[in-house]
Amino acid sequence: MIDLRSDTVTKPTERMRKAMYAAEVGDDVYGEDPAVNFLEETAADLLGKEKALFVTSGTQGNQIAVLTHTAPGSEVIMESDSHIYMYEGAAVSAFAGIQPRLVKGINGSMQAEDVKNAIRSDDIHHPETSLVCLENTHNRAGGAIVPLRDMKDIYKICSAASIPVHIDGARLFNAAAGSGTSVKDFASYCDTVQICLSKGLGAPVGSLIAGSEDFIRKARKWRKRLGGGLRQGGVLAAPGRIALTEMTERLHEDHEKASKLAEGLAEIPSLSIENQVDTNIVLVNIGQTGFSADQFLQLLKGQGILAVAFGPQTIRFTTHYDVTFEDIDKALTSISAIISSKVILH
């Protein structure tokens, strides 16, 4: 199968598998796992933060950040299609007891003036604004890169109001590869940041959150409360460090695959590209084909291609390390055949 559902489906490389086997380990809950400590130090340095913390997933990292920054009954400003709001099971409400305040962005990027207007005034009727969350790249916006200038403007407003900023940077290295801006520069306009190791970077498990030493001290307790304290976590941290040090420089290849896929799909009758392809995600509108998204996914699967629905008439394709340029050619040939033959589902 040519699996274009997500970059989460990547398999660990041979180097990662060997690193897992050879990892020097200890008890991370006691802070004694050398591989975990090395990974956290590496991440903190790359992101320009004092400390970092290894967590089991991007969702856990985001939730720990929200729990650490906020208090129950407060309000968190986030983009209306953000991953934290759309795809994390309402955890910010279930665990942190906060209320989301949604702001519609432009290609996933909230505008500073809109964020400023969404900050609550000191009024007995209002919740306090306790946090602003950004997402870069933005999944629902088709892997769009949130411009550094937008982040800078929002951070300036929030700093003046003493409101922390958290970046859901699950694909922040894709943003860096696609823009030429370093992850450290992106992370300079936030108080905390979460990065994922198991998407385009190819590690089997894990994410990291980074911030000040005081923040990470408090976050470590929230990780424990959520059941995220690992013992011999070095077997997972070792491939994670390879992801950070060896897999970031090749992400531009995934972006080139996505561009090639988008260009080919745009030439197929009845298909149109919905997003500006900044990174490794392509959103395709199939409304003119006469198929629903679910029907089209079945046809793709019959041709050995996996993708996901992103709406009633939208299909998302995501390129990654385990998909080759030859796979892109094969996928385009198969999709063209589906459209040209007007296959009827039985």
CA–CA dist 330, 346 (Å, integer): 24
Query: What digits encode the pLDDT tens for the residues 159-211?
Result: 999 999 999 999 999 999 999 999 999 999 999 999 999 999 999 999 999 99
Is residue 195 within 8 Å of residue 220, measured between CB atoms?
no
- Kindly indicate the confidence band of residue 346, based on its pLDDT and cuts at 50, 70 and 90: very low
Q: Over range 22-30, report the average pLDDT.
A: 93
CA–CA dist 176, 314 (Å, integer): 27
Q: What are phi and psi of 282, to 5 degrees?
A: -125, 125
Domain spanning 250-344: CATH superfamily: Aspartate Aminotransferase, domain 1 (3.90.1150.10)
Whether domain 14-245 has CATH 3.40.50.12780: no
Residue with tokens 């979460």: 194
Query: What digits encode the pLDDT tens for the residues 3-16?
Result: 999 999 999 999 99
220-224: long-range contacts, CB 8 A cutoff, minimum separation 24: 220/53, 222/64, 222/67, 222/68, 223/53, 223/55, 223/60, 223/64, 224/29
Pairing of strands 207-211, 192-196: antiparallel
Range with the poorest average pLDDT among 26-30, 88-92, 211-215, 326-330: 26-30
CA–CA dist 323, 326 (Å, integer): 8
Query: What digits encode the pLDDT tens for the residues 116-144?
Result: 999 999 999 999 999 999 999 999 999 99
- Kindly indicate the confidence band of residue 342, based on its pLDDT and cuts at 50, 70 and 90: low
Query: What digits encode the pLDDT tens for the residues 312-323?
Result: 999 999 999 999
Global confidence as pTM: 0.95
Query: Of how many residues is the chain composed?
Result: 346
Kindly give the residue spans of alpha helices, DSSP state H, lying in 180-281: 183-187, 213-225, 234-246, 251-266
Query: What digits encode the pLDDT tens for the residues 215-241?
Result: 999 999 999 999 999 999 999 999 999
Provide the 8-state DSSP code for 315: E
CA–CA dist 236, 290 (Å, integer): 45
CA–CA dist 22, 3 (Å, integer): 30
Sequence ranges of the chain with CATH classification 3.40.640.10: 14-245
Is residue 168 within 8 Å of residue 195, measured between CB atoms?
no
Residue with tokens 């490794």: 280
- Kindly indicate the confidence band of residue 345, based on its pLDDT and cuts at 50, 70 and 90: very low
Is residue 66 within 8 Å of residue 98, measured between CB atoms?
yes
Q: What is the residue-averaged pLDDT of the chain?
A: 96
Query: What digits encode the pLDDT tens for the residues 251-288?
Result: 999 999 999 999 999 999 999 999 999 999 999 999 99
Sequence ranges of the chain with CATH classification 3.90.1150.10: 250-344
